[in-house]
Structure 1
Amino acid sequence: MADPPSLLKDCTAYATQDDPFTQPQVDTARKLLEQGGVKTVSSQVYPSETTDYTPIAQKMIASGAQVIVTGTLLPDIVAYIQAFKQQHYNPQAIIAT
């Protein structure tokens, strides 16, 4: 694998539900990116029953990641995007499964 673009070098955060569909996708993405030299700055797995996504979003924001990879369903990603907008956090890429 070629060297990762500087955008990815040390600024990727991951968050996923402990869901049998979403978690394996995020785990695979993380594994492949790390093998390619991409450093993880935040990684979170949270229960499917979660209804308050604010602490998860805040941790991603605090990480300063420029790339966000999430394993989400609609309520999660909507909450993340709302939190990102409220905090004026604009990562270069948001990847949601």
Structure 2
Amino acid sequence: MLDLAFSRRQYLVHLADGPARIRDLVDAFEHSRSTVNRAVRALEADGLVERGADGYEATYAGRILLDTVDEAVAVAEVVGTANGVLYELPSSPRNHRFFADAEV
């Protein structure tokens, strides 16, 4: 599920803002209809989006997982930027949130 959320993050972001139809997603991302259908079906199968009267929309679980993915990406960017500085820190394990909102 996490791999899917990472690979289809752009769809989750769009659908977390509100419902959208398949054709809206095709236009927004300039992907083929079959690519969009596959992505949305996979997200729906994992319970990350659901179909409603106005189109597909991210579920509560989808929004939570999107927040988790966004946090992981932010931490990875900080770690990548600060990699040399990290050697100066003690080797004891750190919670990844130690790096949240860090500026380097």
Structure in which a larger fraction of residues adopt strand: 1
Same fold (TM over 0.5): no
Structure in which a larger fraction of residues adopt helix: 2
State the TM-score, normalizing by the size of structure 1: 0.30
State the TM-score, normalizing by the size of structure 2: 0.28
Q: Which has the higher contact order (CA 8 A, sep 6+)?
A: 1
